[in-house]
Amino acid sequence: MNIHNLQQQFYQKLSAANDTKTLEELRNEYLGRKRGVLTALLKELSSVAPEERKNAGRQINELKQLVETELERKTELLSHAVPPEVVDWSLPGAETKLGGIHPITLVRQKIENIFRSMGYAIEEGPEIETDFYNFTALNFPPDHPARDTQDTLFVNRQDDSGKNLLLRTHTSPVQIRTMLKYPPPVRVLCPGRVYRKDEIDATHSPIFHQVEALVVDENITFADLKGTLLYFLQELFSAEVQLSFRPTFFPFTEPSADVSVSCVFCKSKGCSVCKYSGWIEILGSGMVHPNVLENVGYDSEKYTGFAFGLGLDRIAILMYGIPDIRLFFQNDIRFLSQFRIVMP
Ligand SMILES: [Zn+2]
């Protein structure tokens, strides 16, 4: 019998031994002074050739050590074993508490599903960004106020160009990363957490959530943007809606438009949600600025695109009538347990 087989055999017997009596028998079988297998092997050492004796002795002693340790360990283990429980089947069952999905996640999943059904890919990116992805590639001029420490949270570390890293102020850098990664056509949705230097109150938080969409292809026009937004918002609110576009300015789109949706809560008759205007401001949008396309190496003569972005927190606030943005971040179970529903 070689030592290795002996060891294997021991482990098999050890794992089968589930009471102290069997363990004691096992101890006798291997270490017993009279009939122990290992004791016998040690006694036989004198008959082994002198050149092999040292090695054989070492192996037997190692196994002996191991058997002792393992037996002790198992004895210790069994001494803590819980006695078999007597089950009273007539007792009432323990209540299992169901978790819920965070309202921001609910809204995010709903929006992702709408865009997946239109063939969009979902892309995510890092929350710590460089100036290039967050500003420069998006056509922000060097002196743009968003680059100021008043608005942006910077990280005390520099990128390769010596500029401070920052917490992304929007999910737009994911658009840049996507376009640098893939050639056109691109249809992508970029959801994620963003950061701005804001005082915390009922409607402001330095952390919030955005989702942006980007489409770049040949012959993409403002009509594609309008059609996509109408479909998206009708699906989101499960209602017929009208859209209102107002010209605005963003560095990364031209032309740019703020979009309002007709109030789905009062059917535009006027309510506290729409502040009695019949309209709810909901997102920013526009045609991708040619500079942005050129910055990622796309031919701006051949390709055009649209992009839009909206705040997930704001949508969740609207859809669920949540009075305070801080509720999203407080993990108060009384608040969260109200969302133990599955959205259609
Ligand atoms: Zn209203």
pLDDT digits (tens, 9 = 90+) for 219-231: 999 999 999 999 9
Instruction: Using the mean position of ligand 1's atoms as its centre, give its distance from the Cα of residue 265 in Å.
Output: 5
pLDDT digits (tens, 9 = 90+) for 193-211: 999 998 899 888 999 999 9
Q: Which of 30-34, 167-171, 240-244, 314-318 has the lowest mean pLDDT?
A: 30-34
Cα 173 to Cα 23: distance, rounded to the nearest angstrom: 65
Cα 112 to Cα 149: distance, rounded to the nearest angstrom: 33
DSSP-assigned letter for residue 105 = H
Q: What is the mean pLDDT of residues 267-275?
A: 89
Write down the pLDDT at residue 104. 95
The listed range with the strongest mean pLDDT (34-43, 77-86, 107-116, 265-274) is: 107-116
Instruction: Using the mean position of ligand 1's atoms as its centre, give its distance from the Cα of residue 277 in Å.
Output: 7
Write down the pLDDT at residue 165. 95
In this predicted structure, the answer to whether residue 341 has a pLDDT above a threshold of 80 is no
pTM of the model: 0.71
In this prediction, residue 1 has a pLDDT band, given cuts at 50, 70 and 90, of low
Instruction: Using the mean position of ligand 1's atoms as its centre, give its distance from the Cα of residue 262 in Å.
Output: 8
Instruction: Using the mean position of ligand 1's atoms as its centre, give its distance from the Cα of residue 43 in Å.
Output: 95
pLDDT digits (tens, 9 = 90+) for 181-196: 999 999 999 999 999 9
**Are the C-beta atoms of 280 and 272 separated by less than 8 Å?**
no
Instruction: Using the mean position of ligand 1's atoms as its centre, give its distance from the Cα of residue 54 in Å.
Output: 92
* List of residues 6+ apart from 126 with CB closer than 8 A: 168
